[in-house]
Structure 1
Amino acid sequence: MPIPNKSILNEYSKGAYFFDSFSKRIKYNNQTAIEVFLETATRTPVWIEFLMSMRNWIVSKLGLKHLGGLQDVPKKKLSTEYVVGERIGIFTLVSITDHEVVLEDCDKHLNVRVSFLVEPEGVAATVHATTVVHVNNVFGKIYMFFVAPFHKIIVPSTLKGLEQA
């Protein structure tokens, strides 16, 4: 699916090596974008957390950054207390509004940005989870060769957790 026109990542995706976007309709109770992201992160399926731990183990042997897990987000913090530059789980907060949160993780191989955009429609909303990756070198391309196929399974699976929220 294309990146939503309203997303901040639409502009950032120009020249990207990889991008994708997945959408999910949810019940809407005035949740902010950060609240939707946190709900998604805390409901990450066990098998995805296992893949993250395997990823961390493998890349640590290659001297790369250990990211932690998707569920490693602050608990019981008000959505209004998050500030740009703060680390939230495996990402750093780049931008935050009621309807879109943008997070990133950058290293010498990749620059990854993730957006959760919430488009309210009465008592429902559409949540768009978008990822954009810019690679910085050959190792980044090799890494994405292995990660991209899993990513297309992982993001829709994490969005399913919103059904139980």
Structure 2
Amino acid sequence: MITEIDFPTETALYGRELGAFYRDSFRVRVRKEALGARQVYHSIFAHLPISVQLALKARNSVVKLVGFSASNTSMSIGLEEIQAGQNAGFLTIEAASDVEVVCTAYEKNMDMWLSVLKLSDQEFAISTLVNMKTGAGKVYMAFIKPFHKLVAQHSINQALKAGRI
């Protein structure tokens, strides 16, 4: 089950909000036991649904025309590679433990973070924080916000349906 929750104060992202920002968080109750944040991150983001990858490609073709980075749409990375300093598509892994994986992407219009945080034995929070640095970043987030929530929930749900988490 996936539910939107208040932004967790336990995440390393908490307190990084600057100026205009957007943040959200979803709690997922996993079906598998003894999973850590690395396994949940890998199970969701290394297996993005084809529909999400196509949406990211379409996004890239549009946003590069207005000065945004056209990023790699694949976030696939091997489980053993989920370590600080590694790249996972357009994200760089900032920190990785069994409790939390934090990834980041910095660009001129906005800075973005993604967190997978273990809340309990079978519950995890998947959180996003975006600090918008320019007017273009604010316009982009106003447009993308409803799609972001759908994509996030769909990606998490696909990992559940596939039995990865």
Cα 1:116–1:58, aligned 2, differ >3 Å: closer, same or farther?
same
Q: Distance in 2 between matches of 1:116 and 1:17?
A: 19
Q: Deviations over 1:79-133 (max 9, x none)?
A: xx43322211221111112110110111010010110012233xxx111110011
Gaps of 5+ in 1: none
**Which is further off, 13-22 or 2-11?**
13-22
Shift of 1:38: 1.4
**Deviation above 6 Å: which 4+ runs of structure 1?**
none
**Which is further off, 16-25 or 100-109?**
16-25
Alignment of 1:120-135 (within 5 A): 120-121=120-121, 125-135=122-132
Q: Distance in 1 between matches of 2:46 and 2:102?
A: 17
Shift of 1:19: 0.5
Q: Distance in 2 between matches of 1:24 and 1:18?
A: 20
Cα 1:39–1:138, aligned 2, differ >3 Å: closer, same or farther?
same
TM-score by length of 2: 0.86
Q: Distance in 1 between matches of 2:46 and 2:86?
A: 18
Partner secondary structure for residue 12 of structure 1: coil
Shift of 1:138: 0.6
Name the counterpart of 2:99: 99
**1:46 correspondence with 2:36:** no
Name the counterpart of 1:27: 31
Amino acid at match of 1:111: D
Partner secondary structure for residue 28 of structure 2: strand
Amino acid at match of 1:140: G
Amino acid at match of 1:98: D
**1:162 correspondence with 2:159:** yes
The question of whether the paired residues in 2 share the 8 Å contact of 1:3 and 1:9 is answered with no
Pairing partner for 2:76 from 70, 73, 76: 73
The question of whether the paired residues in 2 share the 8 Å contact of 1:26 and 1:162 is answered with no
Amino acid at match of 2:128: T
Pairing partner for 1:142 from 136, 139, 144: 139
Cα 1:103–1:155, aligned 2, differ >3 Å: closer, same or farther?
same
Gaps of 5+ in 2: none
Shift of 1:68: 1.4
TM-score by length of 1: 0.86
**Superposed CA RMSD:** 1.8
Q: Distance in 2 between matches of 1:114 and 1:72?
A: 12
**1:85 correspondence with 2:85:** yes
Identical amino acids, percent of aligned pairs: 23
